[in-house]
Amino acid sequence: MCSSDLLVFNGLPEDRVIGRRTSDLLALSLASELAEEDREALGTLGAVRAQHWFPTRDGGELLFDTARLALRDEAGDPVGVLGVARDVTATFRARADLDQRMRELACLYDVFRLTEEPGRSVSEVLSAVAARLRSGMVAADAAMVWIDYDGASFGTVAPMRGELMSDVYRREFAGPGGRRGVLTCAFATPAPGDSLLEEGELLPAIALRLETFLHEDAAIREGDRQRQLLERVFSAASDSIVVVDAATRGFAQFNDAACEGLGYTREEFSRLSVQELLVDQ
């Protein structure tokens, strides 16, 4: 006997289901797995639980949570198997989608962290971002991620990019001085749907972060260059040069000529303020 739901699922009338074997209705591999679970149920007092993907008549598939329990006579001997199946496809896919969102958000966080680490060069950061972004993809083995910027390329090596790419996602970004860059994610197989990448949210967020990092890095480098230039000017000058802190009125920076000309060591001069120097003189 069987339920009406099973008849609807198979699209067959009852007289074409009753009396037939599982292998008559399903693919041999799936039918073999179910038959093995039936045998297991006959040999135990408890239920045998499992999950299986069942093909549907429209070419799709549904995930069923199945339970098998042996039916026994008054003597306790098994006389049959009761099977119950529950469609858990929606729950499974919702959980998978949530897991993927968590992976993508973790990836986004790591990208932000990588661009905040001190002491890394631009090439090191771009290479690390490309590698981390690839590992955050659902189908990481089929994913290729690279970043083209300022005439260089970082990430998936060029020969691999010649493989057949089913889905390609690109996002441009701008660096300082008119430099342009492109962040590319490509898949050798169709990219999984319902993800931040598919919805167009992931790449813009990472591209924006790269733009911010590149401009901040350029500003830091320019600041370092200006400081080095100022230090060279200070060191080479024969005249006294001092920079006064407007808040404390202390000497924020000075050259050797400033302290030596007034008879102070650098350590003594660094502890003085403008007012103390005037009084002392």
Q: Shortest CA distance to 37 belongs to which of 67, 74, 4, 17? A: 67
Question: For residue 168, what are the CA distances in angstroms to 126, 146, 189?
Answer: 19, 11, 10
| CA separation for the pair 114, 102 (Å, rounded) | 18
Q: Residue 172 has what pLDDT?
A: 92
Per-block average pLDDT, block size 10, for the chain (281 residues)?
52 62 72 85 87 83 88 86 86 84 83 86 91 75 85 71 65 91 80 53 86 88 76 75 81 80 83 73 57
Q: CA angle, corner 59, sides to 55 and 62, nearest 5? A: 40
Q: Residue 181 has what pLDDT?
A: 93
Q: Residue 162 has what pLDDT?
A: 52
Q: Which residues contact residue 140 at a Cβ distance below 8 angstroms, ignoring those fewer than 6 apart? A: 134
What 3-state DSSP class applies to 78?
A: strand
Q: Residue 187 has what pLDDT?
A: 76
pTM score > 0.85 for this model?
no
Q: Residue 149 has what pLDDT?
A: 94
> Would you give the DSSP letter of residue 121?
-
Strand-strand pairing, 152-155 and 143-149:
antiparallel
